Amino acid sequence: MANTFHIVVCAGIAPDPLQTLEPVTTPAGPGLKNEMVLPAVLDPWAASALYEAAHLAAAHPGSRVWLVSLGPRAKLQQVMMTVAQKASFELVPVDGPIGGFTDAHATAAALTETIATLPGLDRERLLLFGGWESATRGAGVTLQLAGERLGIMDQFQGVDHIDVREDGSFEVLERVEGGKHQASLCAGAPAVLGWATGNLAEPRNNPQVGMANMRTILPALQRARSATLDARGLRYVQVSLPRQQRTTRVAKDMTADAIASEIVEWIGAE
C-alpha cells in the first residue's frame, strides 16, 4: 500500500519537572531521592515525536504507530493513564530501570531487541521516531544508536517538520543555528527522525481514544518483558545539584561581542 508507514516511537518516562530532584548514591549507583515515589510524565521531547507520529499516521490511512517505552511497569501504567487520551498507538512496554544514570548503549540495545520482534512490522516502511534530546539522560545518542543497530543509515536530528510526497519520499526540516532550518530530501522509509518540538500543539484529552487505547495497554503491561541494562563499565564518580548563583548587573551601550566575551570569561572562571 503506497504511502503507508510503520512508525515506532521510542519514548521514555521522566520525573515530573515540577518536582525537586535530588541526586543520591544508592547501592546500585547514582539515583534520585525517592525516585519511585515521584510522579512521572512522558519525556517531553519524545511526546512531541508521538504526537507527530499520530498526526502522520492519521494523514496516511493504513499506517500503524507503536510506542516502545522502557521503564518500571507501575510507572508506565501511571503515565499511560494520561498519554492514552492524547493519541492512538499500540504500547510495547519494557519493564526496566529509568533515570538519568542509565547507559545509552544499553538502553538502545534493549529498545532495538524489542522493536526487532514486533509482530507485523515491515522494515521497508519503518520510521523510527523519538526525541532529539531527553529530559532524563540528555545524551542525545540513544535514538541514533537504536537506528544504527536496526541498520537504518538515513537519520535526521532536530526535526520540526516532514512533508510526505506522493512517491513516498519526504522533505525534512532540521533545526540549525540562527533560528533556521536545513531542508533535506529523503527517498523514503526506512529512516530515523529525532524530533525537536515539531509544529503540533499538545492534543486535547479524548476519553474515547483513551478507552480504546487502554483495552490494549493494560494487557500489554501485564505481558511486558523485563530488561536489565548493563552499565558496560560506566561509573559515576560524583553527582550533585547544580550550584545556584545569580549576579545581576545593569549595563548600557555594550556591544554583542563585549557581552559574549564577558559571559565566556564568567563561565571560564567557574
pLDDT tens column, 244-253? 667 777 888 8
Once rounded to an integer, what is the mean pLDDT over residues 16-42?
A: 71
Once rounded to an integer, what is the mean pLDDT over residues 14-22?
A: 72
Once rounded to an integer, what is the mean pLDDT over residues 32-46?
A: 78
Q: Is the pLDDT of residue 104 over 70?
A: yes
Number of C-beta neighbours around residue 199 at 10 A: 12
The pLDDT score that the predictor gives to residue 66 is 93
In 3D space, the residue among 101, 96, 99, 98 whose CA is nearest the CA of residue 114 turns out to be: 96
Q: For 130-179, write each residue's pLDDT tens digit.
A: 888 877 766 668 888 889 999 998 999 989 999 999 888 999 999 888 78
The pLDDT score that the predictor gives to residue 250 is 80
Q: Which residue has the higher pLDDT, 74 or 37?
A: 74
Q: Which residue has the higher pLDDT, 13 or 36?
A: 13
Number of C-beta neighbours around residue 142 at 10 A: 25
Q: Is the pLDDT of residue 270 over 70?
A: no
For residue 20, give every residue at least 6 positions away whose Cβ sits within 8 Å of its Cβ, in sequence order, or none.
none
- Provide the 8-state DSSP code for 190: S
- Average model confidence (pLDDT) across the chain: 83
- All domains in the chain, ordered by first residue: 6-226 (3.40.50.620)
Q: Is the pLDDT of residue 31 over 70?
A: no
The pLDDT score that the predictor gives to residue 30 is 67
Distance CA 160, CA 242 (A): 30
Q: Is the pLDDT of residue 1 over 60?
A: no
Q: Which residue has the higher pLDDT, 228 or 13?
A: 13
Residue pair 29/69 in contact (Cβ under 8 Å)? The answer is no
Per the structure block, which three cell numbers stand in for 36? Answer: 519511585
The pLDDT > 90 percentage for the chain reads 23
The pLDDT > 70 percentage for the chain reads 83
In 3D space, the residue among 210, 221, 219 whose CA is nearest the CA of residue 71 turns out to be: 221
Q: Is the pLDDT of residue 40 over 60?
A: yes
Once rounded to an integer, what is the mean pLDDT over residues 233-261?
A: 75
Q: Is the pLDDT of residue 113 over 70?
A: yes
